[in-house]
Amino acid sequence: MKKRNYNLIFGIIITAFVVVLLLIGIFWTPYNPDTMNVKLRLTGPSAEHLLGCDNFGRDIFSRVLKGGVSTLWISVATVLFGLVCGIIVGAFTGYYGGVLDEVVMRLNDVLNSFPSILLSLVFVSLLGPGKKNVVIALGLLFIPSFARITRSEFSRIKSLDYVKCAKLEGVPPLRIMFVHILPNAVNTLLSTTAIGFNNAVLAEASLSFLGIGVQPPDPSLGRMLAESQTYLFSAPWYTLSAGGMIILLILGFGLLSDGLGDIE
């Protein structure tokens, strides 16, 4: 009997829910997320304000949606940046091996040996805060993990008969790498990408929490968490909604990547 892939099922459900929510958030939010209203300061959840209001009287639900959207964009851009660069680095090192492989992989090890949050702090303080710089800083940090996976897949696949066949047929190396080998590495890369996406969400939230990510007045999940600390006991819904959104994002993609990894 075939075991059902619950990870994949729940992963898809949660991710679909979050993505639909955020897609709505791109075009429409119940209130303007930046409109302040002193009368509603720190009011709890109600029919008008589903998740209550924050310390400036802004609608938390609207801000969670907007913040989630910006986290999503940053994470997607970060992962894409890391994935594309990582695939290129990994393809060349894995396919050619030798000295190039040794040098690049040792550089990779150096990057990996620093705590990633520390490195991203360094990068962002060099580049200055802001969405674009966060993407560049985090993207750079994501290259090693993707490069490593791509490299191991390429060096495994390059010794298979069909690649030897392609060499004998006179297929040029670049074509062998990206047309013959890459499609065979996609499965592994797919589940790594989902994990990478999770890490990107977390890293972006941490940078914003520390105040060097998304800058005010743009809403951000990480900064909402930081601001809500003060009101943890007087207005717990504030912390819970921002944290809940992060959890949903990560849980969905985590289950999804597990599920994808279980296929076959």
Reported residue count of the chain is 264
DSSP state of 59: B
Task: Compute the distance between CA of residue 158 and CA of residue 96 in angstroms, rounded to an integer.
Answer: 9
Question: Do the Cβ atoms of 125 and 117 come closer than 8 Å?
Answer: no
Question: Count of residues binding other proteins (CB under 8 A)?
Answer: 16
Question: Do the Cβ atoms of 65 and 22 come closer than 8 Å?
Answer: yes
**Site for other proteins contains 164 (CB under 8 A):** yes
131 vs 156, which CB is nearer to other proteins?
156
- Work out which of 9, 13, 100, 165 binds other proteins, going by CB under 8 A: 165
- Work out which of 6, 17, 114, 162 binds other proteins, going by CB under 8 A: 162
50 vs 171, which CB is nearer to other proteins?
171
Best CA proximity match to 222, nearest among 145, 123, 127, 120: 120
- Work out which of 168, 217, 233, 264 binds other proteins, going by CB under 8 A: 168
Smallest separation, CB 175 to other proteins (Å)? 6
Residues facing 59 on adjacent strands: 53
- Work out which of 41, 119, 167, 215 binds other proteins, going by CB under 8 A: 167
**Site for other proteins contains 264 (CB under 8 A):** no
**Site for other proteins contains 160 (CB under 8 A):** yes
Distances (CA, A) of 145 to 9, 75, 148: 26, 15, 5
Token couple for 134: 């966060």
Chain positions 179 to 198 lying near other proteins, rule: CB under 8 A, are 180, 183-184
Task: Compute the distance between CA of residue 8 and CA of residue 10 in angstroms, rounded to an integer.
Answer: 6
132 vs 175, which CB is nearer to other proteins?
175
Task: Compute the distance between CA of residue 10 and CA of residue 52 in angstroms, rounded to an integer.
Answer: 28
Best CA proximity match to 63, nearest among 231, 206, 251, 227: 227
- Work out which of 128, 172, 216, 236 binds other proteins, going by CB under 8 A: 172
- Work out which of 38, 106, 161, 217 binds other proteins, going by CB under 8 A: 161
User: Where does this chain bind other proteins (CB under 8 A)?
Assistant: 160-162, 164-172, 175, 180, 183-184
